[in-house]
Amino acid sequence: MQVYTLKNKSIEIDFIARGGQIISIKVPDAKGNVADVVVGYDTIEETLNGDAYFGALCGRYANRIVNGEFEIEGEKFQLDCNNETNHLHGGVDGFNRRNWKVSAVEIDRYVQAYQLSLVSEDGDQNYPGKLEVSVIYGLTDDNQFVIAYEAQTSKSTVINLTSHPYFNLNGAGNGSAMNHELLLNASNYTPISAELGTTSGDIVLVKDTPFDFTNTKTVESACKTDHEQIRMFDGIDHNFVLDDFDGTIKLAGVLSDPESGRKMEVYTDQPGIQIYTGAHFDGSEIGKKGAPIIQCAGLAMETQIFPNSPNYEHFPNAILRPGEKYKHVCIYKFC
Ligand code: BGC
């Protein structure tokens, strides 16, 4: 499997065609010490056999759809339930498992860029419509790693694409990211219903809850609390509702590591961001540097629309119709 590289004067990003998986992002700290800041494996072979969501492009609908069911214009669709009773990240054969077509492209704003494309046929995983997807991975000279998605469909369908790297700014394999500091421009979040296994449909203020990251605080300070929403998933696995959403690109959050001093800003034009502290990592798998992948080995920051949006009228629109263009930009900027 070929490894593609995006490189500027200080940063190097490697990815593969399977799932568009980002397998490493090498970033210097202030003293010039370079670390690979995404959770993963040391070899391609382990990557291909390991957790197929690490650094991968997820779709056609990233995150959960309750019971795998949705309806468009009166027609009912049933997707597979690959996450207990829910559909997760596009199903058993999601976009993270596909071999994307990769080509180098020249775009003015990037030092280097690749286009990843995929055709998902009508009926793929039971989703309606033939969906044509293009994702640009671009690196600017000021250390912005830009992921720009576009898609169009032949029939009305649902769509929510995202990228799934887990960040540990102290270097993957160097312990947990619990000590990282997080700021989120989100005054609300979508709590989870234990019964549904995903958002209840409520939109709740973060004020006076552990989910209040409107002022910078450590991930650990939220995860250590006894709040029932934290205990339910042994950490954070929640969608945050970004403030002042208007479809333009805005700062969604800032992650920083006090130990190395590395800092990453996340920008998006999407209404939500899923923060996941990796509760399912239990140390039984070996990752980079031969170190066990422990809980919160890294933190996922997935820009997207809200979970189960196709089933909630008051959630952002998840339907893409023929003639429309799905657009989504996510920027991870290393400062
Ligand atoms: C979800 C987690 C899920 C994980 C799988 C995340 O996006 O929020 O609940 O376990 O993906 O890798």
Domain CATH code at residue 66: 2.70.98.10
- What lies within 8 Å, CB to CB, of 149 at 6+ separation is 133, 134, 135, 161, 326, 327, 328, 329, 330
Segment 218-233, tens digit of pLDDT = 999 999 999 999 999 8
> 3-state DSSP helix/strand/coil percent for the chain, to nearest 5?
10, 40, 50
Which pLDDT score, from 0 to 100, does residue 2 have? 97
Q: What is the DSSP letter of 150?
A: E
Which pLDDT score, from 0 to 100, does residue 1 have? 87
**Residues 256-272: b if buried by 16+ CB within 10 A, e if exposed:** bbeebebbbbbbbbbbb
- Check if the beta carbon of residue 191 is closer than 8 Å to that of residue 184: no
Q: Is the CB of 274 under 6 A from ligand 1?
A: yes
Of the residues 89, 180, 238, 302, only one is catalytic, namely: 302
Which pLDDT score, from 0 to 100, does residue 233 have? 87
45 assigned to active site? no
Overall domain count for the chain: 1
Of the residues 164, 180, 238, 328, only one is catalytic, namely: 164
End-to-end CA distance of the chain: 31
49 is in an annotated binding site: no
State the distance from the centre of ligand 1 to the C-alpha of 105, rounded, in angstroms. Answer: 31
Q: Give me the residues of the chain with pLDDT under 50, please.
A: none
259 assigned to active site? no
Q: Give the C-alpha separation, 128 to 197, whole Å.
A: 25
How far is CA 4 from its chain centroid?
20
Q: Give the C-alpha separation, 314 to 325, whole Å.
A: 21
Which tokens go with 247?
A: 């479809």
Q: Is the CB of 114 under 6 A from ligand 1?
A: no
Domain residues for the domain of 63 are 3-334
Which pLDDT score, from 0 to 100, does residue 164 have? 98
Q: Is the CB of 61 under 6 A from ligand 1?
A: no
33 is in an annotated binding site: no
Which pLDDT score, from 0 to 100, does residue 82 have? 97
Q: Is the CB of 280 under 6 A from ligand 1?
A: yes
